[in-house]
Chains A and B, each alone.
Chain A
Amino acid sequence: MTEYAISTKNLSVAYSDKPVIWKLDIGVETGSRTAIVGPNGAGKSTLIKAIMKLVKPVSGESAVLGSTHKSALKEVAYVPQKGEVNWDFPATVFDVVLMGRYVHKGLFKRPNKKDKKIALDALETMKMSQFKDRQISELSGGQRQRVFLARAIAHDANIYIMDEPLQGIDITTEKLIIDTMKKLQAEGKTFLVVHHNLNTVPDYFNRVIILNKEIIAAGPVEDVWTEDNINAAYYEKSDESWIS
């Protein structure tokens, strides 16, 4: 049996009295590029927030590399949605990427030369070296996403969880992100990505989780990426009797 990079068991999350995700059993295979797709309000972001232990589930649990403990999350580089941070913050591109190294630094320890080198290399990978001293408020949407991904690369994790990394970016950046993802996957890294463009799913990912509060289908793209499954998630009103 494959050991899962990320797994959930009976995971449910609710905001006050409204369930957002319901009894999810998920296994994200190590070394896969897994997409999470589903309509608005399907609970995609909530699912990854629950995996990152940023929201508390009402039932069930999630595990990273088999461990439900919080410390296992150090193996995960999380790329939040662009809109979740204050882009007017007084920091340069390099400052933000260097934050990716903080996870490896204990209390009272500052990033050293080696950390700075790793951050510079990550910037190079995302082709952002020339902007390293630019203030982050002066970046375009695509550049901001590259900075986030560079930070995740600097983190040097085994698992990447990304929330809509391709939302509102230019085509060059999209291609760069996908190429980087494929390159890192070849090195054995795992990707779990919230994705919104249905057309590109088969090109960009090898596994997919189709979600609409519950799991509609999950597995290799060639098996589960069917019209029936997509329609079931997007167009048919799911049975909401259990919401009451």
Chain B
Amino acid sequence: MIEVFAVLLVTALATSLLGVFLVLKGQAMTTDAISHTILLGIVLAFFITADLRSPLLIIGAAVIGLITVYLIELVTSSGMMKQDAAVGIVFTALFAGAVILVSRYADDVHLDIDVVLMGQVLFAPLNRVDILGVSLPYALVQLTVILIINILFILMFYKELKVTSFDPVYAAAAGISTTLIYYLLMTLVSVTAVTAFDAVGSILVISFFVTPAITAYLVTKRLSHMIWLTLLTAAFNSLAGCTFGYFTDISISGSVASVSLLTFLAVFFCNKNGWIRKTLKSRRMLRKI
């Protein structure tokens, strides 16, 4: 149980940290797309290596993740459709390709669509690896490494990420490469997503990327505060969701994603500038006139 929670916590922190910048850039749906299309990268890499634990799978996923982002940019910049439509087209096409390949050629291997979507974090501790004589869940080790990489990335490029998210035009004018930062971020998103969804499933990965960040966004005034509150929210959601799922014997991933929504709704309605207060205020004002 403690190991399941550890895997969830590390996954939540690694994903939600990047989620802050995805939310600020208005790229939440792109995460959704990437979390699905990387399956194509995994499948293609699997055909080459025939090993589900090969690092090539992660590279394949990262490449397809980047191709996804690039295709979305390409379709959007043609000026013929908006970004949401572009996401819809690219995402479904690549994901469908992956589903066809899995069902046609990889029926007998453990690339189960259900597991990919729903995840089964309870099984994560079964797959183990020895580090310095200590037996640890493989997913925990992998995701801890990813978490450290993500933290380093944010620390190193903090000011670039901040200015390119707030004002990309000014950033470009000031000689900061918006494109480079964006693709670096999206590479990490792809790598994080593929590692995370193996452990917790793609639905929870998307929830982790988006929900804690959007919850923190409602109430924070500064970027640094938003990042800390996002991490705190992600940790709380994991703990509460994991506990609830464990004691009621339901899918842990489903439970964590649901708790994340409840946390968001609680903040949305009850914060000091939230929906309830705003509605009451406008009622009071209307009564006066």
Contacts and interface: CB of A to CB of B under 8 A. Distances in A.
Given A99-B167, A110-B159, A135-B221, A86 B173 contact: no
Contacts of B172: 52, 54
Contacts of A52: 172-173
Contacts of B160: 102, 107
Contacts of A107: 156-157, 160
A92 B159 CA distance: 14
B289 interface: no
B22 to A, nearest CB: 13
A113 to B, nearest CB: 16
A107 B158 CA distance: 10
Given A84-B167, A96-B166, A102-B174, A90 B159 contact: no
A102 B173 contact: no
Given A54-B172, A73-B173, A89 B24 contact: yes
Interface string B153-180: 0001111101101110111111110000
A31 interface: no
Contacts of B222: 90-92, 95
Contact of B166 (A16, A86, A110, A135): A86
A89 B165 contact: yes
B223 interface: yes
Interface string A97-112: 0010011010110110
Nearest to A103: B174
Interface string A113-139: 000000000000000000000010000
A74 interface: yes
Nearest to A79: B170
B169 A80 contact: yes
Contact of A54 (B79, B163, B169, B225): B169
Contact of B159 (A70, A76, A105, A135): A105
B54 interface: no
Given A70-B175, A91-B222, A110 B158 contact: yes
Q: Is the interface of B mostly helix, strand, loop or mixed?
A: helix
Given A80-B170, A111-B159, A16 B79 contact: yes
A99 B158 contact: no
B5 interface: no
B174 A86 contact: no
Interface in A64-93: 70-71, 73-74, 76, 78, 80, 84-86, 89-92
A16 B80 CA distance: 11
B175 A86 contact: no
Given A90-B223, A92-B221, A95-B222, A54 B173 contact: yes
A118 B11 CA distance: 40
B103 interface: no
Nearest to B224: A90
Contacts of A76: 173
A99 B79 contact: no
A86 B24 contact: yes
A107 B180 CA distance: 13
A197 B25 CA distance: 34
A76 B225 CA distance: 32
B217 A90 contact: yes
A236 B160 CA distance: 46
B226 interface: yes
A90 B174 contact: no
Contact of B167 (A71, A73, A80, A111): A80
Nearest to A101: B159
A91 B217 CA distance: 11
Contacts of A74: 174-175
Contacts of A71: 175
A99 B163 contact: yes
B63 to A, nearest CB: 25
A54 B174 CA distance: 11
Given A86-B24, A89-B24, A99 B166 contact: yes
B220 A90 contact: yes
A18 to B, nearest CB: 11
A14 to B, nearest CB: 13
Contact of B163 (A102, A108, A135): A102
Interface in B128-163: 156-160, 162-163
27 contacts: A54-B169, A54-B172, A70-B175, A71-B175, A74-B174, A74-B175, A76-B173, A78-B170, A80-B169, A85-B169, A86-B24, A86-B165, A90-B24, A90-B225, A91-B162, A91-B166, A91-B222, A91-B223, A92-B221, A92-B222, A99-B166, A107-B156, A108-B156, A110-B158, A110-B159, A111-B159, A155-B174
- Shortest beta-carbon contacts, A-B, top 9: A78-B173, A103-B174, A135-B221, A85-B167, A90-B226, A89-B166, A52-B173, A90-B220, A99-B163
